[in-house]
């Protein structure tokens, strides 16, 4: 059975890295953020928009999960508009995007923190962006969402590095407690 603590770690990592990326991106002028750099979503801002769009899509799907109904932690995401295209760019500036990213990450962290093993085993029924119906285990869906975030954040980090901005350490290991710490 999936371990809720692992997903809590992934949610913390997700929020931490999103914040690091946004902090790094602030070092570029607006035209540097919007410049087409040949990435899948064109620019750094395009990639960051994609992450906001897809997280909104995914966590709105989780609104039908019994744990979402029980906790209400995803209510802020329920109130957010949903784009119908994966390449949608609802935010023209980083400053416009930042509050949405922070609100999504806070809701994700709050919801994940409420999940138990039985919630992770729940089979969620949903429709993807093309309307195709699916039924999948919540733990596997969450792994996909967090992996998707990591994939596109790596793209954004590479684009930032190419633009001369150092994102710094990005390893999940930084957040994993060292079990030797404090021992003599």
The answer to whether the annotation marks 152 as part of a ligand binding site is: yes
Distance of CA 114 to the CA centre of its chain: 18
Q: What are the DSSP E strand ranges found in 108-167?
A: 123-127, 133-137
At what angle are helices 44-61 and 94-114 packed, to 10 degrees?
Answer: 30
What count of other Cβ atoms lies within 10 Å of the Cβ of residue 170?
16
The predicted structure's pLDDT at residue 152: 97
Question: Do 44 and 26 form a contact (C-beta atoms < 8 A)?
Answer: no
**Alpha helices per DSSP H over 72-137:** 75-78, 94-114, 117-121
Q: Residue with structure tokens 């919540």?
A: 138
Question: Do 1 and 117 form a contact (C-beta atoms < 8 A)?
Answer: yes
Q: What is the pLDDT of residues 28-59, one digit of tens each?
A: 999 999 999 999 999 999 999 999 999 999 99
Calculate what percentage of the chain has a pLDDT beyond 90.
92
Look up residue 39 and give its two tokens: 């990435």
Kindly tell me if the per-residue pLDDT of 1 is higher than 90: no
The predicted structure's pLDDT at residue 183: 66
The answer to whether the annotation marks 144 as part of a ligand binding site is: no
Q: What is the pLDDT of residues 83-124, one digit of tens each?
A: 989 999 999 999 999 999 999 999 999 999 999 999 999 999
Mean pLDDT of 147-160: 97
Phi and psi, residue 55, nearest 5°? -65, -40
Kindly tell me if the per-residue pLDDT of 181 is higher than 80: no
**pLDDT grade, residue 14 (50/70/90)?**
very high
Q: Residue with structure tokens 């962006």?
A: 129
């Amino acid at each position: 059975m999936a371990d809720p603590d692992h997903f809590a770690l992934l949610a913390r990592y997700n929020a931490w890295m999103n914040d690091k990326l946004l902090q790094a991106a602030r070092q570029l002028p607006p035209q540097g953020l919007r410049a087409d750099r040949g990435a899948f979503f064109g620019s750094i801002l395009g990639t960051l928009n994609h992450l906001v769009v897809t997280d909104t899509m995914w966590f709105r799907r989780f609104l039908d999960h019994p744990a979402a109904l029980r906790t209400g932690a995803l209510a802020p995401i329920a109130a957010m508009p949903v784009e119908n295209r994966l390449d949608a760019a609802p935010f023209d500036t980083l400053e416009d995007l930042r509050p949405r990213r922070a609100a999504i990450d806070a809701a994700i962290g709050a919801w994940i923190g409420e999940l138990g093993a039985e919630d992770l085993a729940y089979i969620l029924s949903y429709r993807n962006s093309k309307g195709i119906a699916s039924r999948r285990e919540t733990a596997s869906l969450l792994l996909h969402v967090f992996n998707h975030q990591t994939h596109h954040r790596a793209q954004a980090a590479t684009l930032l590095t190419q633009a001369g901005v150092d994102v710094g350490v990005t390893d999940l290991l930084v957040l994993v407690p060292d079990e030797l710490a404090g021992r003599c």
